[in-house]
Structure 1
Amino acid sequence: MNNKTRNLTMMLLLGLLISSAASAAQLKPLMDWMNSLVESGKVVGCMVQVTRDGETIFLEAVGDRTPGSEEDLETDQVIRIYSMSKAVTSTAIMQLVEQGKLDLDDPVSKYIPEFKETKVSVDGQLVAPRRPVTIRDLLTHTSGLAYDFSAPPELVPHYKDKMADVTSLEETAVVMSRMPLASHPGQAFVYGLNTDVLGRVVEVVSGKEFEVYLQENIFTPLGMDDTGFTPDADIELMHIVTPDEGSLVVDANHYEGGTKILKPAFQSGGGGLWSTIGDYTRFCRAMEQLGELDGNRILETRTVTFMTQNQLGPGTKKGPRQRFGLGFGIQPAVDSRMGPLGEGRWSWGGAACTYFFIDPEQDLTAVFATQQFPFNMDMNNEFHQVVLESMAIEESSR
């Protein structure tokens, strides 16, 4: 390397360092919040990436990779993203809709015949549903399929550990078709195994293994090089931790036994992906830019617009103020000292306390990750609020 090239390289590195330091200073409330999580013992370590107008304006990791290791957590750490997988799987389904290979109102039984025999629980009796479960029902979590933690008590035995020994999506879909629905299709929002069924639909319609399809049509086009259903064997993992007598310890139940839904052996479209905050930010940026990133388009503009509109009708039972599109929650504004912020942003989270949101009004994406059970909704809400407030403060100082 000659002196001219070396000097240019040093200038570029210096510029990146200055830019990083400036972004951290501009979003100081966010940095302070992350440090407070570690210092108070609420997390062992955490990472955040924020982009605006397609550029990273904040990328930081604080704390340790695992309890007692004193090994700093890095922003390229591979982690389980659990239910943040759902937005990716929903995107794959909508690609196939665009190609005319399936329709949102197709019955699921067209692709998984066993769903013709699915029953719904009504007053303690298993009866035929009023209509078939459709692809749209699965995307909006209105099929009636539940998780063991979201099913009514009388149905929990029909869900709990039923997929402990399955290893393929084909087998998984058959097992899920036998699970009683908690409500008639279209009747209520019931958070459940819907997106795992969609993973099998992708395989049937595309003729490819689910992960192969995702790699070819989403991960490779977007440059998501560290995302998949199995992390590389040589990667040092960030252990999942859980509170125990006032401190955070490695969750022995998760690693030694525990519920199989949190470590599925099949390619779970609802919760099986591993990724990094950098990779997932690339997915968020593609969606925020209406289906395209760096010249690679994964969805048409009109499709992204449709996916991120509320799909829960007035006759659907749901939570207060709840809105849900096709694979994304649609969030109300947060109340802040700066006024209401972030109305209509798209978001979801994962079981081990990973969170993301996309605010199209601000051309903003934000991804947070730690690895911790149980899911902490308060921390999710704090993340949304502190990012939005930090952006508002930064904007007002211009």
Structure 2
Amino acid sequence: MNVLIIGSGAREHAIAWKLSQSEYCDKVFVAPGNAGTSDFHTNASIDIHNFEELAKFACDFNIMMVVVGPENALVEGIHDYFQNSEYLKHILVVGPTKAGAMLEGSKDFCKAFFSRHNIPTARYQTFTEATYRDAVEYLRNHSYPAVLKADGLAAGKGVIIAQTFDEAIDALEDLLRNKKFGNAGSKVVIEEYLQGIEVSVFILTDGKEYVLLPEAKDYKRIGEADAGLNTGGMGAVSPVPFADDAFMQKVKDRVITPTLTGLQQDNIPYTGFLFIGLMNVNGDPYVIEYNVRLGDPETEAIIPRIKSDLFELFRALHDHKLGSFKLEIDPRTAATVFLVSGGYPEGFEKGKVITGLENVDKDVLVFHAGTKIVNDKLINNGGRVIAVTALGDTLEEALAKANKAAETITWQNRYYRRDIGFDLRTIKAGI
């Protein structure tokens, strides 16, 4: 069977790498892909927003399964496009319809869903430019830190944690009046700051049954010790030490089950991954957000831990047999470190030659993101460029191997965090 993966990041590279191991996959295509996916898959130079071209490609190459990586295509309705076409509706699209994708496409919609279905989350209110003065008064009486979120998609960068009232007003001005994130900031969600530690939980679901995937913790800030600006993600580890059976049972009972019940009650069809961003607050899970696809860089940490055939997992999704699917997980720890272009997440230069890949230890996985081949040379072509993932019997072993690989790969002004997993090492030590 031929499979089409939509996207160009390290997440899509990891999914392609895993699917290619299945005896049931004849050919894996990636649109548009990157330099890494071109090594052992076929890249298709198609804009992921051009549904007509993607549909034509699916027909021409007898695609039977489409796995959607990025959220934008889902929010724009790629699943609906395939579903509403007579000659495409037989294709399994792994990713929700536009209605389901609203859980990520609008923070306000998502928070209302939480409230409606009694899913634990931070208290909040939503404001627009028309209610700007109300937002100012709300912030004046708010406790700090306070969290301000652009309502729409902002590439993982639309969240500001304001430490003071003045910082909050500056952020509000940027979002609502200066349109820092364009239409994504036409509404702003202001919510209480939850004190705790984050964990990313993932399920694959048909809207009724689900399979729980390995959890992970990602690191969003550009600087070490979680300092500086938010990014798309600087690294991840899986498993997460505090996500033990007791905590995960709370997640199932208080979050996953009411989420699926809520989707059914609201008549929202859902077929695909659901990423549940949680905060562990004194042992209790609170939902920060939903994402309607796998996370990046979490995917690069959790996919290598899945020992089961990923294609068979998707087939169970198609056949509504997720409830009986037994997922086999590697008990080892995976650590992912992202190498980024100097200056990211703000201005950075492209076109720098990347070297050192051939010297990375053979048991370390290298997933490409912002890479491109020009004149037979590998160059950086984005902010986040390469993710390296290592498995180890301990967190320390996995991190040491991943950091060694990150040090080996280089280009002008490349940067990576050397402290991924720093907080989990403290937890593990019982401090």
Superposition TM-score, scaled by structure 2 size: 0.25
Q: When the two structures are superposed, what TM-score results if normalisation uses the length of structure 1?
A: 0.27
Considering fraction of residues, name the structure with more helix. Answer: 1
Greater relative contact order (CA < 8 Å, ≥ 6 in sequence): 1
